[in-house]
Amino acid sequence: MGLRNFKESIGNGISRRKFISTAAGGTAIALFRPSIALATHTPDHFLLNDYVGRLCYNENPLGPSPKAITAMKEQIHMGHRYTDWFADSLRSKLGDLHGVSSSKVIAGGGATEILRLCAYAFADPDGNVVCPYPSYGQFASDSNFVGAEVRYSDLDGNYRIDLDDMASRVDDNTSAVCITNPNNPTATVLAANDIENFVNSLPHHVVTIIDEAYHEYVDDPSYQTAVELVLQDKKVVVIRTFSKVFGLAGVRIGYAVGISSLISALRSWQYYATVSRLALEAAKSALDDSQHVTNTVELNTMAKQFCFDSFDSMGLEYIPSQTNYFMVDVNQPASNVAGQLAQRGIRVRTGWGMPNHLRVSTGTMEEMQDFVNALNEILNPLSKMSPLTPMITTLEGNYPNPFNGSTHIEYSIAKGGHVLLQIFNIQGQLVKTVVDEYKFPGNYAFDWNGKNQSGAPVASGSYFYKLTSGDFTQTRRMILVK
C-alpha cells in the first residue's frame, strides 16, 4: 500500500491484517526487536516469585486499591459469563473523567495492547516512525514488526526527550511519532507547552502517540496531560495504564484517549473482550479510590527522597525523577553491581546504552533502606564497619511482642539533637524514661526488662513506648505477659 493511500486512510479504520499475516510467515521474528537492543541484567538464580526486593518493574508496593480488590472478589462468581465486549462501561466512566465522549476512549489489556494497536493502525510499512532513545521501546518494536522504518532520536544533555531533534527526523514518509512522558527509563518530563508546540509543528498526516503511564506521579508544574490536546482536536493519542499508581499490573488493563477517527482506527484492529470482567470492575473501582492514589504517591515521594539523600551522602549522581523509579550512576559497570544486588535479594535493571546506571523502582521504605545499605556495602566494602547514616528517623517495632522477661527495641536518628524515649502504661502514666539526652545520627537499640524507673517489676498488660526527636514523634504498643 502506498503512503498516499495510507495517509488518506488514517482514522478510517484501515485494515492491514493481510500484510501482518504475510509478514509473520517470513521475517517477523527478525523484525520484532528494534535495532538498538534494550539490554537488561537478569541473573538466572533470581526467583521471580520472591517479590520482596523486586525493584525492577516499577510496580506499586502498596498493591491494588482495597476497593478494587473488593470489586474483583465480587466478580469471581461471574467468571462463567463473558465480559463487556469492548469495556463500554469503563470507557463511559473514563470519558466523563477526561471530558470526552466514550467514542474517544479505547480500553485494552494494559498499555501493552494499546501500544501494539497503535503500531498496527499508524505505522506505515512503506514509511517511517520517529521515537526517542533510550525510551520505552514497545511502539518502536511493534512498528518494526509491521515493516516500518524506525528513526531514533537521542535524548538531550539532561536525559530529556529532544523534541527539536525528533522534529528534524520527520519527513513526508513519517506516519507517526511516539513520546513517553515522563520518559522511561530516565524518569524525566517534558513541559506541556513544548509538547503542544511540537505537535503543532508536525505535518497533518503524522499521528502523535503520547504514553503517560506515570502521569499521576508527576509534580513538575510545567507538566500537563496531553489529553488537553485531544480536547483541541489535535491528531494525538494519549495512553494511560492502571498498572502503576493503581497497582493493577497483574490484572492487565490500560486505555487511550484520542480524537474519534484515531480511536476508530485502533478499534478496527482490536479483538473483542480483551479486558476481563475482573479487570473491568477493578479499574472502575480504582478510579473511585483517590486516597489510595494519594498514599501511593506520598510513599513514592518519601522513598525517592530517602534514596536521593543517601546518594548525596555517598557522592553518587542520579537523574531527578518524576516517576516511581530513578536512575543512579554507580561509577562502574552497573551490570556487575546489579548482579551483586541480586545476590542480596534486590533486583534492579540496567541497559539502554547507559552502562554505569542502575534503574531502580521505588518500593516500601524497608526495601529502599535495604537497597541503599546493600549498594553502600557493594560500592564501599568498608562500610560494613561503618554503617551509612540513616536518612530518616524511625522507631521500630519491639520483638518479641508479646514478651515475657525482656524485649528488644531499635530506633534510628537521622539528625543529631535531643532525643526522648519513654515508656507509658495504658493509662498514659510514665513508667520509665529510657533516653533523655543528645544523640548523634545513627542506629540505636535497647532492651527493656519490664521494670519501672525505680527498678520494680511492672504488671502484665499493654504499654506504649514513644520516641521524640526534633519534630519527629512516633509511638508504638507492646504487651507484657507474665
CATH number of 394-480: 2.60.40.4070
Q: What is the pLDDT of residues 111-169, one digit of tens each?
A: 999 999 999 999 999 999 999 999 999 999 999 999 999 999 999 999 999 999 999 99
Q: Which residue in 188, 241, 71 sits closest to 179, CA to CA? A: 188
Largest CA distance in the chain: 92
What is the length of the chain? 482
- Residue 226 and residue 210 in contact, taking contact as beta carbons nearer than 8 Å: yes
Residue 1 CA to residue 188 CA, distance in Å, equals 38
Residue 199 three-state SS: helix
- Residue 378 and residue 340 in contact, taking contact as beta carbons nearer than 8 Å: yes
Q: Which residue in 107, 138, 142 sits closest to 254, CA to CA? A: 107
Residue 387 is predicted with a pLDDT of 57
- DSSP letters, 216-244, are GG---TT---THHHHHTT-SEEEEEESSS
Residue 359 CA to residue 55 CA, distance in Å, equals 9
Give me 45's grid cell. Answer: 538464580
Residue 119 CA to residue 104 CA, distance in Å, equals 18
Sheet architecture: strand order including 394-395: 394-395, 407-413, 442-448
Query: What stretch of H or E contains 374?
Result: helix 365-379
pTM for this entry: 0.73
Residue 330 CA to residue 315 CA, distance in Å, equals 9
CATH number of 3-31+66-288: 3.40.640.10
Q: What are the contacts of 156-162 at 24+ separation with CB within 8 A? A: 158/188, 159/183, 159/186, 159/188, 159/319, 159/327, 160/186, 160/188, 160/189, 160/190, 161/132, 161/135, 161/188, 161/190, 162/132
Residue 401 CA to residue 215 CA, distance in Å, equals 42
- Residue 172 and residue 148 in contact, taking contact as beta carbons nearer than 8 Å: no
- 226, with CB counted inside 10 A (0-12, 13-18, 19+), is buried
Per-residue pLDDT of the chain (482 residues; tens, 9 = 90+): 444 444 444 444 434 433 343 433 333 323 333 333 333 333 333 333 447 899 999 999 999 999 999 999 999 999 999 998 999 999 999 999 999 999 999 999 999 999 999 999 999 999 999 999 999 999 999 999 999 999 999 999 999 999 999 999 999 999 999 999 999 999 999 999 999 999 999 999 999 999 999 999 999 999 999 999 999 999 999 999 999 999 999 999 999 999 999 999 999 999 989 999 999 999 999 999 999 999 999 999 999 999 999 999 899 999 999 999 999 999 999 999 999 999 999 999 999 999 999 999 999 998 998 999 999 999 988 655 445 668 789 999 888 998 888 999 999 998 888 999 999 999 999 999 999 988 878 889 999 999 999 999 999 999 999 999 999 999 999 989 88
- Residue 372 and residue 306 in contact, taking contact as beta carbons nearer than 8 Å: yes
Q: What is the pLDDT of residues 66-95, one digit of tens each?
A: 999 999 999 999 999 999 899 999 999 999
Residue 361 three-state SS: strand
Sequence ranges of the domains in the chain: 3-31+66-288, 291-384, 394-480
Give me 49's grid cell. Answer: 516469585
Q: Which residue in 196, 189, 131, 475 sits closest to 321, CA to CA? A: 189
Residue 178 CA to residue 138 CA, distance in Å, equals 10
Q: Which residue in 323, 356, 297, 318 sits closest to 187, CA to CA? A: 323
Cell 483541541 sits at which residue?
Answer: 232
Q: How far is CA 207 from CA 121, 124, 169, 271, in A?
A: 10, 11, 14, 22
- Residue 450 and residue 471 in contact, taking contact as beta carbons nearer than 8 Å: no
Residue 254 CA to residue 219 CA, distance in Å, equals 22
CATH number of 291-384: 3.90.1150.10
Q: Based on C-alpha coordinates, what's the Rg of the chain?
A: 27
417: left (phi over 0), alpha (psi -120 to 50) or beta: left
Q: What is the pLDDT of residues 331-367, one digit of tens each?
A: 999 999 999 999 999 999 999 999 999 999 999 998 9
Q: How many CB atoms lie within 10 A of CB 329?
A: 16
